[in-house]
A and B are shown apart, each in its own frame.
Chain A
Amino acid sequence: MSLFTDLRRSVKRLFAVWHARNLEFLRDRTSLVFTLGVPVALVVAMALIFGGPPRPLFKVGVLAPMPTVAAYPFLGERYFQFVEQPREAAAIHLVSRNDLDLLLDLRQRPVRFWAIADSPKGYMAEKLLLQVDPQAVRQPITGVATRYIDWLFPGVLGMNLMFTCLMGAGYVVVRYRRNGFLKRLSATPVSAFEFLSAQVLSRLGLALAVTLILYVGISNVIHFHNAGSNALLLLVAVLGSLSLIAFGLIVAARFASEEVVGGLLNFLTWPMMLLSGVWFSLEGSPRWMQLVAQLFPLTHILQAVRAITLDGAGAATIGVDLAYLAGTTLVFLAAGAYSFRWRPD
């Protein structure tokens, strides 16, 4: 009887707290909208990106002109995406970087093909091709062929950088606003731009330290070789971090609810993770998707880092990416300072 009474009282207390928390959540309209809105937006985004027929497993370049399926039946294979490539050298380069799993030259017989043997997908694509066309002849890839892990590694670093930068600074500012510390600062001569810049620089140090630890540690484990300049890599990391942190601060410029900001940041990180080339190349993807991807700072970070580490690119080659990252940093900081509120609306 006593145990039952204790249990009943416990459930009653639990219910009271549960009910109050639900009321709090439901009455915070902004939070409610974002919390429920983000999954809906994700569903729409996933439908756009992954909807339609099943996604191909292999991405195969075909040197132009692309013949018909009747002329070469392998082009009719399911789960292969065939992308016409106008220039042979550029297409071979894409294979060497794992942006394409296989490249076919169907302009002559026997058919020539290029693939990286130690790429799992390249290996499988080659096996399947030879089942259909045993006469196809493998061509050597000049220069150093890239392992998939070498292609993936910058993506992992970039993703970690994105989370460190976007999440950290944004949440701190929201907490400061909610607990009234920002209100106290607003009574001093410090300006919104100065405050935000200080947050950016503080987070930058942390982001760079974390990235450096990951870079050194994982490089040793996977025997990663940077074909380019480490100084240039650091410059990309600095500009990329600045851009991402400033981006996060725009989100945190007004809100006083961690739930709202969490929802918004989720809303931003998911498309970046899917479209910026963290896990897979957007080669052969619809044009609109590639254009959207170019808006994200993470895309430019990964493009620049892969160009440096895989191709040994110099500053001139990645100049556009560096300029984009620097420009977005300034634009995001200015927008953040403009829309910044010291106290909750």
Chain B
Amino acid sequence: MIIDSPNTALLQVDNLVKRYADNTAVDGLSFSVPEGCCFGLLGPNGAGKTTTIEIMEGILAPTAGAVRYRGAPLGERFRAEAGILFQKTALQDFLTVRQTLNLFRGLYDHGLSVQEVIRLCALEKLLKRDNKKLSGGQLQRLLLGVALVNDPSILFLDEPTTGLDPQARRRFWELVQSIKAQRKTIILTTHYMEEAELLCDEIVIVDHGKIIAQGAPQALLRQHFQAVLLELPAEDWTPAARALGIAFFEAAGRVELTTDDLEGTLRRLMQSAVSLAHLRIRPPNLEDLFLELTGKDLRA
């Protein structure tokens, strides 16, 4: 549930607009982020996610609209209480992991001890390692540590697991879940719908700078799908089946279709000589919803 009352919102976004010379990246976004919520900001490439989150972080000035933190414009209090993990974060060269954490801890009056951050982000074995010599997953853990040094009330994670291998990604999810358990507010952008479904309490899907859906993931799925999803190998999708008039989507050697009349659809497929040997039936997930809402064509 998105909470609209500004009294309960930790972060309030009102009519946000960001225009560049040749395009409007953010086009009148409004939403609230309740305290203690893991809030997902989703959208295809170029939808305006990073621009939106950078305005919310106070890094980028909006063309119009406002972002309020605890009811006030973003200011010193926000900078002291926000933790940020950018999509691409550079650190100072020639510093070790511990020195980097010490540097950022030194910029805040209050926060966690460096030792606590090291423990939280499982950095114990990397303390003397040069920043530049960390693997992708190790670097993201360090960057998360940097974002946590001030014990933030609100944590921004902009595509934090992009480029990580599955193990590192799952390790990172565990860390985020442990932060969530401390009732910290998290704002997450990601291209991984599995990640959003696992971590987010609320999501907003944006496209072309506008909100096209918002709500809790399960509520959105219920709202948009009364059906189940059928997946078949493309070679089993016979010409007769193609002529049935059932809407389907074909990609990567697989055919997908949704139906709210499972028995009737299966009967029609069998009548069209479709082999059901490799049929997979599953409930729709957030990725299906995302594709449903933003389209399945490749973005330019």
Interface, chain A (partner B; CB < 8 A) = 176, 179-181, 183-190, 342-343
Contacts and interface: CB of A to CB of B under 8 A. Distances in A.
B107 A184 contact: no
B185 to A, nearest CB: 16
Interface string B78-98: 011010101011111000000
Interface string B240-262: 00000000000000000000000
Contacts of B146: 184
A189 B90 contact: no
Interface in B104-118: 104, 107-109
Contacts of A343: 59
B79 A187 contact: yes
A180 B86 contact: yes
B268 to A, nearest CB: 55
A187 B57 contact: yes
B76 interface: yes
Contacts of A189: 76, 79-80, 107-109
B58 interface: yes
B90 A188 contact: no
B90 A179 contact: yes
A181 B82 contact: no
8 contacts: A181-B91, A183-B59, A183-B86, A184-B84, A184-B86, A185-B107, A187-B79, A187-B82
Interface in B136-166: 146, 150
Contacts of A190: 107
B108 A184 contact: no
Contacts of A187: 57-59, 79, 82, 84, 86
Nearest to A343: B59
A303 B126 CA distance: 52
A144 B177 CA distance: 79
Shortest Cβ-Cβ A-B pairs, 7 listed: A180-B90, A179-B90, A188-B107, A181-B90, A187-B84, A189-B79, A190-B107
A185 B84 CA distance: 10
Given A184-B89, A184-B90, A190-B107, 7 more contacts: A176-B92, A179-B90, A180-B86, A184-B86, A187-B59, A187-B86, A188-B150
A99 to B, nearest CB: 46
Contacts of B92: 176, 181
A181 B80 CA distance: 18
A181 B88 CA distance: 10
Contacts of B90: 176, 179-181, 183-184
Name which of B89, B90, B104, B109 has the most chain A CB atoms within 10 A of its CB. B90
A189 B80 CA distance: 6
Contact of B108 (A176, A188, A342): A188
A181 to B, nearest CB: 4
A186 B76 CA distance: 12
Contacts of A181: 90-92
Name which of A176, A183, A185, A342 has the most chain B CB atoms within 10 A of its CB. A183
Contacts of A185: 107
Name which of A188, A189, A343 has the most chain B CB atoms within 10 A of its CB. A188
A180 B89 contact: yes
A178 B84 CA distance: 19
Interface string B22-64: 0000000000000000000000000000000000011100000
Name which of A181, A185, A189 has the most chain B CB atoms within 10 A of its CB. A189
Nearest to B82: A187
B91 A188 contact: no
Interface string B100-132: 000010011100000000000000000000000
Given A180-B90, A183-B86, A343-B59, A188 B104 contact: yes
B142 to A, nearest CB: 12
Given A189-B80, A189-B107, A184 B91 contact: yes
Contacts of A179: 90
